[in-house]
């Protein structure tokens, strides 16, 4: 049985898409995400900062292609602070690779030319998230001052779980195959130990999968990465649950109720994005149909983005105030 070795820090996602010897897979991912058709993998210039860590895991990759600086991240736990993290990453990246040393001077009279940054986060967590959503740095600012900010940064979050974004996964076969593998591991881990689930999923990976040969040749390393990531994901869930329990014990009843209402509105908005009707939503969230219907009526005014802050504010004014929710 494989045991967890915490020295294996890279995630499997980066192992597949972030190594120079796999430029063809990286290019396939880039073309799928951007709707392009570049055909020369050697055009990719990796500049990933290997000393930038998140929770002890190296899960980012960055590269330049045709004046575009692509910064890709992977996460199995939704993190609304990704724009903040990306801002730091971009700053580190530019200072170290673009304007550091003797290359150029930020104090000179000549305008510095920089590649255009694009941020994409590939999400494959177990919590339900839409196929795509845009995370904004300005969401961290006070709501009444966001429009006045001189700084904004957008991060495109793409759900790559096997039951999402079928067209995107088909455009990038390595991504499809990676998604298939993670899906199988999670499926099997429901009934057998995670170590056996990983072994079984690897054994059952179809012979025609392009990444299979590479993963099987590096099977021990692959197993270590998956088990380490699984261990981290489980720990994050436990910490989050403990934080919620502490909040419930220490918080006021009013705060608890507001948190529950906010979570309900968030769940309803996610399901509306998926195209589910009111009856389905009420059944899945196990709430009164009338209550859910009124929230849906308010939320629909903010489609297709369903900005959670705006939706909850309107629900609070129009529904909660009537003591219906």
What tens digit of pLDDT does each residue of 114-162 get? 889 999 999 998 888 999 999 999 999 999 999 999 999 999 999 999 9
pLDDT at 55: 38
pLDDT at 154: 97
- Both tokens of residue 151? 């700084």
pLDDT in tens, 253-294: 444 455 667 778 888 888 888 888 888 888 877 788 888 888
pLDDT at 321: 56
Give the largest Cα separation in the chain, rounded.
66
Provide the whole-model pTM. Answer: 0.68
Ranges of the chain whose pLDDT falls below 70? 1-10, 50-59, 97-104, 230-260, 320-325
pLDDT at 9: 40
For residues 21, 65, 137, 273, the Cα torsion angle rounded to the nearest 10 degrees is -80
- Both tokens of residue 148? 């006045």
Pairwise CA distance, residues 60 & 45, whole Å? 15
pLDDT at 50: 64
Pairing of β 68-75 and β 60-65: antiparallel
pLDDT at 104: 66
Query: DSSP strand E in the chain: where?
Result: 45-46, 60-65, 68-75, 116-123, 132-136, 154-159
């Amino acid at each position: 049985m494989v045991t967890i070795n915490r020295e294996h820090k890279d995630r499997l996602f980066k192992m597949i898409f972030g190594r120079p010897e796999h430029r063809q897979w990286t290019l396939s991912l880039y073309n799928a995400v951007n709707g392009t058709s570049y055909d020369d993998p050697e055009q990719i210039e990796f500049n990933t900062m290997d000393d930038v860590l998140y929770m002890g895991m190296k899960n980012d990759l960055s590269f330049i292609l045709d004046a575009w600086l692509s910064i890709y991240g992977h996460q199995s736990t939704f993190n609304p602070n990704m724009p903040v993290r990306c801002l730091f990453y971009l700053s580190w990246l530019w200072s170290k690779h673009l304007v550091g040393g003797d290359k150029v001077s930020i104090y000179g009279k000549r305008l510095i030319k920089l590649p255009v940054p694009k941020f994409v986060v590939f999400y494959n967590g177990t919590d339900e998230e839409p196929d795509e959503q845009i995370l904004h740095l300005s969401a961290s600012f006070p709501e009444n001052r966001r429009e006045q900010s001189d700084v904004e940064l957008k991060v495109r979050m793409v759900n790559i779980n096997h039951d999402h974004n079928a067209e995107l996964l088909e455009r990038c076969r390595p991504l499809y195959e990676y998604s298939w593998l993670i899906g199988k591991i999670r499926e099997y881990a429901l009934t057998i130990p995670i170590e056996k689930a990983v072994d079984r999923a690897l054994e059952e990976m179809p012979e025609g999968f392009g990444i299979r040969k590479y993963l099987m040749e590096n099977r021990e390393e692959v197993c270590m990465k998956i088990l380490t990531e699984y261990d981290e994901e489980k720990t994050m869930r436990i910490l989050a649950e403990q934080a919620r329990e502490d909040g419930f014990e220490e918080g006021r009843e009013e705060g608890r109720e507001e948190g529950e209402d906010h979570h309900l509105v968030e769940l309803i908005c996610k399901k509306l994005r998926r195209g589910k009707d009111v009856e389905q939503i009420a059944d899945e969230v196990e709430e009164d149909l009338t209550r859910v219907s009124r929230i849906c009526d308010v939320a629909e005014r903010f489609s297709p983005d369903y900005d959670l802050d705006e939706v909850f504010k309107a629900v609070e004014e129009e529904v909660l105030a009537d003591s219906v929710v």
